Amino acid sequence: MRGPEVFARIARRYDTLNRVLSLGRDRSWRRRAIAYLPPGRVLDLGGGTGAANPDLGDRQIVALDPAPGMLALNPAQRRVVAYGESLPFEDGAFDGVFSAYVFRNLSSVPGTLQEIHRVLRPGGVAAIVDLTRPLGRVARAVNRAGTAVVVPTVGMLAGARREYTYLHRSLDSLPPPEQMFSGGPMRVEALWRMGLSGFVYGVVLRKE
């Protein structure tokens, strides 16, 4: 994952800013993915301040994040400071893995997917939500122009222009999810797009 210093300064405002940028829909996007998770022990990979905790229900949550400042605000009972590319857990330790708005910050998506595969039990599920660029040249260009203005402006109003300029640039750092998750160590069980022009995606991966 990218260095935790990127998010350290905005830990207390991070969830509010996400709500503003998503027009209040970030929670519904997370819920749609969480609905695929089995009961039991779940790793919240990049759990941050714990925004997903209420929707994970009575599952046993282990929150993992590389930013101690974010994790300190997370009410989960078990919190681990670590990176997705090197998970400090035994093989088959989890029934499910959830991750929201994290994958574009990873330094190695293939490496993280291998680690998720390793820590899931056979038949376990990973549910991932993140931002991407829309499909189609025109929609992609409009989205890129929009985020170039809107995202840094919101960041500037919150005193975090540098961090949110990074968010805009990170949207071009990865291939589209339809390509990124194909051929990986887990089977793609479902993949969908949400939001204006499909700039948010959800994907469900199952370990065979």
Per residue in 131-148, pLDDT (tens digit) is 888 888 888 777 777 767
Which amino acid, one-letter code, is at 141? A
47 closest CA partner among 38, 145, 24, 59: 59
- Report how far residue 168's alpha carbon sits from residue 74's, in angstroms, rounded to the nearest whole number: 25
The pLDDT score that the predictor gives to residue 95 is 98
Q: Which domains does the chain have, with CATH numbers?
A: 5-134+174-206 (3.40.50.150)
pLDDT for residue 145? 73
Q: How far is residue 203's CA from residue 122's CA, in Å, rounded to a whole number?
A: 18
**What whole-number distance in Å separates Cα of residue 140 and Cα of residue 146?**
10
Alpha carbons 202 and 181: distance in angstroms, whole number: 11
The predicted model scores a pTM of 0.85
| 3-state secondary structure at position 54 | helix
* pLDDT digit string, tens, across residues 163-204: 666 666 777 778 999 999 999 999 999 999 998 788 899 999
| Dist CA 139 CA 126 (whole Å) | 29
Residues 78-88 have pLDDT tens digits of 999 999 999 99
Question: Residue 152 pLDDT more than 70?
Answer: no
* pLDDT band with cut points at 50, 70 and 90 for residue 18: low
Q: Strand 120-131 to strand 200-206: parallel, antiparallel, or no bridges (unpaired)?
A: antiparallel
Residue 62 contacts residue 41 (beta carbons within 8 Å):
yes
Per 3-state DSSP, the chain is made up of helix, strand and coil in percentages (nearest 5) of: 40, 25, 35
